[in-house]
Chain A
Amino acid sequence: MNLASELLQYLLSGLTMGGIYALVALGFVIIHNVTGIINFAQGEFMMLGAMFMVTLVGLGIPVPLSLVLSIILVMLLVGLIEIGTIRTAKRASTISLIIITIGLSTAIRGIALLVWGTNPYKLEPFTKGGPINLGGATIVPQSLWVIGTTVVVLALTYFIFEYTFWGKALRACVVNKFAARLMGISPQRMSLFAFMFSAALSALAGIVIAPITYATYDMGLMLGVKGFIAAVIGGLSSTPGAVIGGLALGIIEAFGAGLVSSGYKDGMAFVILLLVLFIKPSGIFGAFGSKRV
């Protein structure tokens, strides 16, 4: 393998993971924009999606139906959790809300451990077939599924936000919560909608990545944190920023793991994060502005 094809290989695996990071990052940004909360349980939604999928497929339900069912299940669950915790603690301070979502993520991970155990579960790739050769680099068909899903979902999200009533209502809430309320949009309902929508995004990300990384009860921790890093790199409030942040993080990680050291791959993401935070805390796509006291 020559250097060019090796670099192409890193690029392809970076794009695959980057797509997943982008989907999770998008979930973070949507919730943060509407509610101001950083949802540390985002990665667990992803794990739940993958785990439900594995279980449903194991029961003999066809893959496309399992996929839809798992996403719906995660959405319903997250809806209930949002009503039970975030809505109940409406007046809590930011630090309390952060701690609440950390608690939620710990509890969900623990319950998953009780239900599914520590064993990794294998999910069959969506399509059969060997690795595809691409200019000297090889790519497994599932990676194409990941990249394809990312593109379709991003397009769909764009459509929902730009052209549907719910999307517009959500954006109105982001721009000015008070004015949105005067227009008859309930911020409470929008918070629920944001949580369920980003849960669906994360669940889908978890499902498409499961055939590559296997599904384990603790897969959500690292992937969730990486998704958040991607969101921060992108500025935490910008949706295109989240996507670019996710792809950039995936690619940098893949190159770092290939060229420097694979053991420090997870550390690398944090070094990047710390660098971004120190150089430009508002993220690459974030607008500079002062916070109101």
Chain B
Amino acid sequence: MKDLLRRKRLRHSLIALFTVLIFALPFIISNNYYLSVLVIIGIHTTVAVGLCLLMGYAGQISLGHAGFYGLGAYASGILTSTYNISPWVAIIAGAIGTGIIAYVMGIPIFRLKEHYLALATLGLGLIIHVIFVEEVELTGGPSGLSKSIPPLSIGNLAIDTDSTFYFLVWAVALLAIIIANNVVHSRIGRALRSIHGSEFAAQSLGVDTGKFKLQIFALSAVYASVAGSLYAHYITFISPSPFGLMTSIQFMVMAVVGGLASIWGPIFGVTAITLLTEGLKTYVPLIYPQAGGEYEIVVFGLLLVIIMIFLPEGLTSGLVNIYERWRHRKERAHENP
């Protein structure tokens, strides 16, 4: 019991420490380029934390999250630019709508397992993407929304610079992490982990696995939707292309690279991947001038393969495991010199 309490305190202090660190960063970094990278990291973190709940804790795969991300972005974009609705209302409306869509579509989809589930979510994502492209009157079709999306504001303070956006995005990301953390350490979290361990065993102990999987799926869709709304307001222009399968795969890479066993994994993964992407953008053209942006997907693909083969638990637990083994060996060497 004492141990549990200590761990809980450790968790809370970790979150507090992280919060302080995050909000101190913009005072250290004033370069707008770095800030914009950090804003994107914050947006992606929100999605990846949701995906981590779904994949790491509930053990379910989703290849459709770019669709939910897009639903949020389009809900914000269309409601604010075409219908002049307040951006905050639009974000909430988008999140609720996406959550309902995910829940309703999830009822049949989550009767499936493994590859079928991967494919069904992939199909759901692709259908959402096709709708973005085809419903020209509503979405502007392949060329995107024609009207620009108004900036967010709190009272008189317009959130339209990199630094103001940074605070907003990370406040949302932190909220997402805190909620996820509470979910993980609640009854639902334990139920989810039991599903990951063995769904049959969980069912036989009276855990309503279907209900929990659905709720987590809907929650992760809401996360993606809110992140998508923020993305739309940040970029102020949306077209269907950033919401395709590649983005879903990218989100999955981010979640997997960091490790799915901890809420902190995705932050690590998102940061690593985003920095890698930006680094590649800067340095590869120096070595190989005729390359466009294509090598990125090669690196993503290979990274995914290598990590899954050698560190299937992701970088965070993988590195911890390597460290533990090293320490163990050192201790043993110490005992028998």
On A, residues with C-beta under 8 Å from B are 38, 40, 85, 88-89, 92-100, 102-111, 113-114, 221, 225, 228-229, 232, 261, 263-264, 266-267, 270-271, 273-274, 277-278, 281, 293
Contact = CB atoms under 8 A, between A and B. Distances in A.
Nearest to B107: A278
A29 to B, nearest CB: 12
A92 B256 CA distance: 14
Given A109-B297, A113-B297, A93 B312 contact: yes
A30 B176 CA distance: 43
B115 A98 contact: yes
Nearest first, the 4 A-B pairs at minimum CB distance are: A107-B301, A103-B304, A106-B301, A110-B298
Contact of A274 (B108, B300, B303, B305): B108
17 contacts: A85-B305, A92-B308, A95-B59, A95-B61, A103-B308, A107-B298, A107-B304, A110-B295, A114-B291, A114-B294, A225-B122, A225-B126, A232-B116, A266-B130, A274-B109, A274-B124, A277-B109
B120 A274 contact: yes
A106 B294 CA distance: 11
B123 A273 contact: yes
B275 interface: no
Interface of B: 55, 59, 61, 63, 108-109, 111-112, 114-116, 118-120, 122-124, 126-127, 130-131, 133-134, 198, 200-201, 245-246, 249, 252-253, 256, 291, 294-305, 308-309, 312
Contacts of B123: 229, 270, 273-274
B312 A103 contact: no
A221 B245 CA distance: 10
A216 to B, nearest CB: 13
Contacts of B108: 274, 277-278
A55 B108 CA distance: 45
A127 to B, nearest CB: 35
B127 A114 contact: no
A109 B304 CA distance: 14
A232 B119 contact: yes
Contact of A99 (B130, B200, B308): B308
Contacts of A263: 130, 133-134
A109 B294 CA distance: 9
Nearest to B290: A114
A232 B127 CA distance: 18
A278 B120 CA distance: 10
Given A225-B122, A270-B123, A89 B294 contact: no
Given A103-B302, A103-B308, A98 B198 contact: no
A281 B120 CA distance: 11
Contacts of B118: 38, 40, 98
B312 A96 contact: yes
B301 A264 contact: no
A100 B130 contact: no
Given A89-B308, A89-B309, A96-B308, A103 B303 contact: yes
B120 A113 contact: no
Given A99-B308, A104-B301, A271 B127 contact: yes
A259 to B, nearest CB: 17
A103 B306 CA distance: 9
Contacts of A92: 308-309, 312
A281 B116 contact: yes
A245 B201 CA distance: 35
A99 B296 contact: no
Contacts of A100: 304-305, 308-309
A94 B312 CA distance: 11
B245 A107 contact: no
